[in-house]
Amino acid sequence: MILCYLLDVFFVILSSLYSFFSSYTIFPHLLWRQCCVINETLI
């Protein structure tokens, strides 16, 4: 899914911009990646 990769890029940019808060942005990112993997497996 293209949306997954777009949000991937978004989270990477977000965590690089807010490196101080990267620990807070990495958790939703990991959760999102799990959702993407599940969706890609189902499709």
pLDDT at 18: 67
H or E element, residue 19: none
- State the chain's mean pLDDT as an integer: 68
pLDDT at 42 over 60: yes
Indicate the pTM of the whole model. Answer: 0.38
The answer to whether the CB of 25 falls within 8 A of the CB of 8 is no
Helices 2-17 and 22-42 cross at an angle (nearest 10°) of: 170
